[in-house]
Amino acid sequence: MRPFLSRAPWRFLARPFTTALPGAWLYAPRLTAAGFSLRTTIAALLALAIAFGMELGEPQWAPMTVWIVAQGTRGESISKAHWRIVGTLAGIASAIVLIAAFPQSPWLFFPALSLWVGLCTALGTLVHNFRSYAFVLTAYTCAIVALSATAIADQVFTLAMARGSYILLGVICEMVVGMVCLPNVAAQAREAVTTQLRQIITQAAMAVRDILAGRPPPEGDLHGIFSRALLLNDRIEFSAIEVGREKHVVAFARATLGLVTRMTSRGLGMRSRLLAIPDHSALAGAVIDDTIALLGLLPDALGDARALARIRTDMAHLTRRCADGIAWTTRPLTDNAAIEAATGDRIVLQGMELLLHEICHLLACFADDPREALTPGRFSLPRPDNWHAAWHNGLRSGVAVLTAALIWETTAWAQGALFVTFVCVVCARFASFSNTVLASAAFFYGAVWAAMAAVVPVFVVMPLTSAYPVLCFSIAIPMFIGGLATRNPSTAAMAASFSNFFPYLLGLDNHSRIDELQWFNTTFALLSGLGFGVLVFRYVLPFNLRRFCALFRARTLGNLHRIGRTPARMEEDVWIGGIIQGMENLIAHMGHRGDRLTDAWLHGAFSVMTIGRNLLYLRDFRGDPRIPDNARADLSALFDALSHAATGPAALARQVRATFERLHGMERTSGDTGTRIALSAALGGLIIVATELGRGNVFFSPGAACPDPRARA
């Protein structure tokens, strides 16, 4: 007998298609979203009740903290709570110092405050995840406490302790409710990490398979693999908190993500090898075909330990076949054509051997192979520091705070302190976002919705009764809806602001209620501060796509030249991470439109990444004892030329071709098998660099057009 819901006309209720309809997040929410919203609403109301019971002066800060700290996973919530406490303590300490240092001296106090906010914002740009949030929180907590104490400087310590009490209360309530509602977090975290790794390994394996089959995927798909790997690498920190003692799981996951980027990058290198050597023997072709077949089987094998073990065995066997094939190509030959063909085969097989080695490392790390226990750290994928963005963000935030303070002093606005406070909040909070204008605008609109939702509790419910259950009923529904919207990607930015500011705009107090005039003044100051912050991001040192492209090009080429400098070595993970970050910013401001120019820039970025990675590979041959001294001298001369910023792509291409010809001649005449193998390995790197330099690349064309954000696909 069929289940009741499978029968017409009710069968549509069992279908998931409603989640794709507009507003489905509200009337057909996912169970995880509803659970998050319900438990966070309960935690917020619990924190508010305790704040009322303790007769704290501004109890609304407790539920605000609950909504600020609450995240989709326990790892994120615990991490944010930890860094929120750290940032709050640093902020209240700095506020006490500022007030003590500049009492009754506003035009010494305000410049000092703006410098402090700018410094914290700049430092927050240089770190990631909630460590960045800690610096941001230090900035605006200092502003909140210090500006609240400008008229009552002798009570700054009391205000600071009250602020710390609200934060601690909110954090404790959120964590307690979260622990009760989310048992067995460690097992769920392990499963989530495994699922995410399977998905990204599948994406990368299919991309490499298509490259080997002569069907390279679009640049946007390749960017998605690198970008997702970097994002998961950041988020794996939260999984480390959730899994507790099983830290090796996270270490292997980090290594797996780093190896995913290396495998994909190696696949791009194989694309260049195969373009340069389209004709290869049946031996090389068989290795490529078998690799394609194994990569096609890999997605299903990732969920089956036995199947994965067979795939790993087959990959290791293929690697040995590559080594045997490389040795076979060094057999004595007399015909020039046969010698050239053997060299070409050897270069292709050496590239496949490198690719297969990285696939084997990748699968070993995914399988938590103890034999890889010493290697995970060297495969991690860091985010390089962006000092240019840090300087811009710090300067912009400092100027914004100083300008807002000038407006307050000039107008003598009664709510000026609140206005300056919220300018500090928005300018510090969103400075490090990829698209600051969109992020801050969404934050502003969320506050507008919070003001509208606060009208009913403030003007209808609270004047009629002071009963806490009635208040809870009137504010729980908007909180719950805000929580649902927070878990919906298209509304998450606005919903975060709504959930943060809705408790604040209720104006709750133990012994009185907010009157209408005070509410309007507070709301106007809040919206004015947030709106001013949006204008700051739009008009003060705004993001300019043309300037960003020029900077991205200059920074990438500068790092390329650094590869040749012995004292300042560029490491592979830093090289890849810097280019991925640049592509992320480009996509963030293009809105994933995929127009021709954006694709050209992504193609250029991948090409430069391939060039740099192979130059890093070649750099180690300068000290390889297997190759002749004159070959090492030729490679050293190449890197000396590369180290000079005046060496343009055309000159570098000529130098690479000349080095290739000289090493190729040495390889043909050498009678030592080890020397020939080492020289052909270097030739493989040179042939990739030469191939990529010979293709059109916007990074090597200073006059190339930048993508247009208004363009349509």
Return the SS3 of 672. Answer: coil
Interhelix angle 130-148/416-429, nearest 10 degrees: 170
**pLDDT at res. 547:** 81
**pLDDT at res. 331:** 83
Region 112-127: mean pLDDT is: 91
Residue 184's pLDDT band (cuts 50, 70, 90): low
Among 639, 638, 667, 640, CA closest to 655 = 638
Where is pLDDT greater, at 584 or 121? 121
**pLDDT at res. 153:** 81
By mean pLDDT, which of 250-264, 386-400, 440-454, 672-686 is the weakest?
250-264
Report pLDDT digits (tens) over 202-227: 999 999 999 999 898 888 788 888 88
Using CB atoms within 10 Å of the CB of residue 511, give its burial: 0 to 12 exposed, 13 to 18 middle, 19+ buried: exposed
Residue 445 confidence (pLDDT) above 60: yes
Return the SS3 of 28. Answer: coil
Q: What is the DSSP string of 602-661?
A: HHHHHHHHHHHHHHHHHHGGGG-TTS-HHHHHHHHHHHHHHHSTT--HHHHHHHHHHHHH
In the DSSP assignment, the letter for residue 434 is S
61 in Cβ contact with 159 (< 8 Å) = no
Region 70-87: mean pLDDT is: 83
Region 345-374: mean pLDDT is: 85
Residue 466's pLDDT band (cuts 50, 70, 90): confident
- Rounded CA gap, 622 and 453, in Å? 68
530 in Cβ contact with 426 (< 8 Å) = yes
**pLDDT at res. 7:** 37
Amino acid in position 356: L
Report pLDDT digits (tens) over 230-279: 888 877 777 777 676 555 667 778 888 888 988 998 999 999 898 888 88
Q: Which two tokens stand for residue 522?
A: 């507070």
Dihedral sign for Cα atoms in the order 554, 560, 563, 564: negative
Region 296-313: mean pLDDT is: 92
Return the SS3 of 682. Answer: helix
What proportion of the chain, given as a percentage, has pLDDT over 90?
Answer: 31
178 in Cβ contact with 74 (< 8 Å) = yes
Where is pLDDT greater, at 187 or 356? 356
Where is pLDDT greater, at 18 or 655? 655
**pLDDT at res. 14:** 36
Helices (H) and strands (E) in the chain, counts: 25, 0
Report pLDDT digits (tens) over 189-204: 777 888 888 999 999 9
Among 355, 347, 349, CA closest to 663 = 347
> Which of 91-100, 326-335, 556-565, 583-592 is modeled with the greatest confidence?
91-100
What proportion of the chain, given as a percentage, has pLDDT over 70?
Answer: 90
Quote the mean pLDDT of the chain. 84
- Rounded CA gap, 581 and 587, in Å? 10
Region 537-546: mean pLDDT is: 81
Residue 592 confidence (pLDDT) above 60: no
- Rounded CA gap, 360 and 144, in Å? 53
Residue 571's pLDDT band (cuts 50, 70, 90): confident
**pLDDT at res. 520:** 94
**pLDDT at res. 11:** 37
Residue 558's pLDDT band (cuts 50, 70, 90): confident
